[in-house]
């Protein structure tokens, strides 16, 4: 493997430094015969999409070759770490490819029959099966388990929780016993108290958060990945629900209030990370759009940048740009702290110590 040399202003510390790469590892000490691949500009630790679905396409599960193409699209945009929040396709072979972004897998969604998108989730006939299903997914994943917390219940015509509170307590405890964290898809407000009181680690979407839920998440450091660019689809979800007017009205209300809801969470100090929900209706490679959306609803430029880089990497257990860290980094000609649009044009992409862009 060719040794590399990069020089630029290293973020977040904001100091111009020389970095060397040998055998896929960063070094602050000179490496003989290193090839300079970046000189001048700004260096960021590899950006993170904290909510995507590698292996899910517009019509459901896809072949592994298409899943690889999705990951390649993310890599080309400069995204080097993907938190896969549930997929029916076994993407472990993609983790062996050194040219693809690192993938943190959550296994399959866990849901009830007819209470999630068809063909994506493991469907449990009896809610009492949830703790054992969580154990299976914890063993098969990379430290995360994904629950469907709420979905339309056609018997009531609106969003409703899927799981009894007591079952959630046992299920989340089972995940923690196996060293896994738990996250949940949640649109509305009703499922949140049970999930939060059961000790969940993260909420996806979170458009139904109220003041009490926000306060609890901030106090317990429960993360939020709001997927704002997917929330833009709520009006179309509502328009398609012609048989369920209460659900349609609810989704439109959640959409109208979504920016204020996420803004309140940011202001309260809830840990918020950038995730696109790519897969299905959202194209891969759109992390920058989500970062800009977070800035629009209340994050400073620096906070929005951190939510997709150094803070997100730390949250997922990955290093930044320090000596001995994995050499996953992206170089930009201009300072993204001054203009987040800079993130759309990476000048140099290094993944696992190899130049990939």
Q: Using an 8 Å Cβ cutoff, are 98 and 354 in contact?
A: yes
Query: So what's the pLDDT on residue 1?
Result: 87
**3-state SS string for 16-70:** EEEEEEECCEEECCCCCCCEEEEEEEEEEECCEEEEECCCEECCEECCHHHHHHH
Query: So what's the pLDDT on residue 26?
Result: 98
Mean pLDDT computed over every residue of the chain: 97
For 127, other C-beta atoms within 10 Å of its C-beta total 15
> Distances in Å between the alpha carbon of 204 and those of 43, 85, 273?
29, 9, 10
- In CATH, the architecture of 48-315 is Alpha-Beta Barrel (3.20)
Q: What is the pLDDT of residues 221-240, one digit of tens each?
A: 999 999 999 999 999 999 99
Q: Rounded CA gap, 49 and 27, in Å?
A: 26
- In CATH, the architecture of 4-45+320-356 is Roll (2.30)
Query: So what's the pLDDT on residue 208?
Result: 98
**H/E stretch holding 195:** helix 192-197
Sequence-ordered list of residues with C-beta below 8 angstroms from that of 4, at least 6 positions apart, any chain = 20, 21, 34, 35, 36, 37, 327, 350, 353, 355
Ranges of the chain whose pLDDT falls below 50: none
**H/E stretch holding 153:** strand 150-153
Query: So what's the pLDDT on residue 311?
Result: 98
Q: How close are the terminal C-alpha atoms of the chain, in Å?
A: 16
What's the token pair of residue 263?
A: 């803004």
Q: Of 58, 83, 48, whose CA–CA distance to 204 is shortest?
A: 83
Q: What is the pLDDT of residues 20-55, one digit of tens each?
A: 999 999 999 999 999 999 999 999 999 999 999 999
> Which residue ranges make up each domain of the chain?
4-45+320-356, 48-315
Query: So what's the pLDDT on residue 142?
Result: 97
Sequence-ordered list of residues with C-beta below 8 angstroms from that of 117, at least 6 positions apart, any chain = 60, 280
Q: Of 351, 349, 315, whose CA–CA distance to 332 is shortest?
A: 349
């Amino acid at each position: 493997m060719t040794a590399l040399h990069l020089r630029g202003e290293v973020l977040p510390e904001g100091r111009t430094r020389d970095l060397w790469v040998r055998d896929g590892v960063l070094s602050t000490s000179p490496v003989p015969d290193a090839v300079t691949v970046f000189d001048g500009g700004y260096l960021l630790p590899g950006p993170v999409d904290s909510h995507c679905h590698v292996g899910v396409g517009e019509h459901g599960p896809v072949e592994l070759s298409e899943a690889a193409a999705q990951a390649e699209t993310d890599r080309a945009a400069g995204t080097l770490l993907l938190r896969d929040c549930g997929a029916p396709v076994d993407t472990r072979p993609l983790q062996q490819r050194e040219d693809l972004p690192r993938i943190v897998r959550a296994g399959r969604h866990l849901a009830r029959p007819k209470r999630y998108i068809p063909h994506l989730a493991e469907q449990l006939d009896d809610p009492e099966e949830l703790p054992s299903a969580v154990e299976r997914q914890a063993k098969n994943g990379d430290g995360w388990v994904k629950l469907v917390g709420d979905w339309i219940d056609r018997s009531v015509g609106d969003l409703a929780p899927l799981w009894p509170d007591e079952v959630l307590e046992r299920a989340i405890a089972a995940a923690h016993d196996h060293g896994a964290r738990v996250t949940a898809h949640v649109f509305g407000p009703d499922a949140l108290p049970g999930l939060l009181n059961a000790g969940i680690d993260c909420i996806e979407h979170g458009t139904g958060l109220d003041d009490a839920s926000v306060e609890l998440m901030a106090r317990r450091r429960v993360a939020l990945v709001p997927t704002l660019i997917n929330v833009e689809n709520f009006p179309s979800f509502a328009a398609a629900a012609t048989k369920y007017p209460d659900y349609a009205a609810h989704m439109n209300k959640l959409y109208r209030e979504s920016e204020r809801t996420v803004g309140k969470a940011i202001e309260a100090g809830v840990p918020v990370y950038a995730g696109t929900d790519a897969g299905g209706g959202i194209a891969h490679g759109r992390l920058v759009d989500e970062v800009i959306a977070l800035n629009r609803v209340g994050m400073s430029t620096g906070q929005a940048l951190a939510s997709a880089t150094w803070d997100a990497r730390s949250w997922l257990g990955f290093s930044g740009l320090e000596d001995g860290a994995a050499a996953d980094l992206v170089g930009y000609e201009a300072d993204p702290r001054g203009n987040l649009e800079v993130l759309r044009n990476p000048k140099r992409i290094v993944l696992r110590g190899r130049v990939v862009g």
